[in-house]
Amino acid sequence: MDGNAVALVTGGSRGIGAAVALRLAEDGFDIAFTYVRGEEAAADVAGKAEALGRRALAIQADSADPAAAGEAVERTVRELGRLDVLVNNAGVGVLGSLEALTAADVEHVLAVNARGVFLATQAAAPHLGPGGRIITIGSCVTQRASTPGGTLYAMSKSALIGLNKALARELGGRRITANIVHPGPVDTDMNPADGPYAGPQAAMTALGRFGAPQEVASMVAFLAGPEAAYVTGAEFAVDGGHAA
């Protein structure tokens, strides 16, 4: 990537997405990122990226809206001039017993975690040139569903594995790579390391702790960088040994 490279991160105003956006800015990318709520948090991420000397574009867009993905991609290209890396990070989690999950739960989770990823990728692909990257954030539950209550979430994230492999084949001829990163328990405001369910989650990892968003961002940065040009169709666990 050259010094004008642009990355779009969906769900980039907090947690893993914010860490990814800022790490890519540190690595020399201009960044665009989407967010649903929290203008202050989005402005903070944009300000930090700009302090690193990079351009930053915060786009309010809900991945549950079928039109939002294409609009975010087109705005990124229009305002930042190009698109080199797409990071599909936006996601939601609805946990509960099989009997308790509603049709509305199913619709919402699949809309964001599966359909939203597909549509963002579909919109981005025509803009990616040789060396372009598609990096998708999956989940450790696709490798090991360690507790009850995660059927819907695990299904939605598992769909991304098949999408990733097919993308690698479809886009490989254009020298565009597609890879997926599976985080384990990560310390975010949605799932804090000192939260009520943190102890059992940490105990399920081989390292006995939560990960930091920056540790996931490091893997994404590697996949977005020049040393990963021959890596595609692959899955990478950043899970502290959750699946071991």
CATH of domain 6-238: 3.40.50.720
Closest CA to 181 of 227, 213, 148: 213
Q: Which of 225, 132, 135, 238 is nearest to 180 (CA)?
A: 135
pLDDT of residue 1: 65
Amino acid of residue 72: A
pLDDT tens, residue order, the chain (244 aa) = 677 899 999 999 999 999 999 999 999 999 999 999 989 999 999 999 999 999 999 999 999 999 999 999 999 999 999 999 999 999 998 888 999 999 999 999 999 999 999 999 999 999 999 999 999 999 999 999 878 889 999 999 999 999 999 999 999 999 999 999 999 999 998 889 998 888 999 999 999 999 999 999 999 999 999 999 999 999 999 999 999 9
Q: Are 141 and 150 in contact (CB under 8 A)?
A: yes
Annotated catalytic residue within 35, 153, 197, 230: 153
Burial class (CB in 10 A: 0-12, 13-18, 19+), 177: buried
Distance CA 179, CA 161 (A): 9
Q: Is 153 a catalytic residue?
A: yes
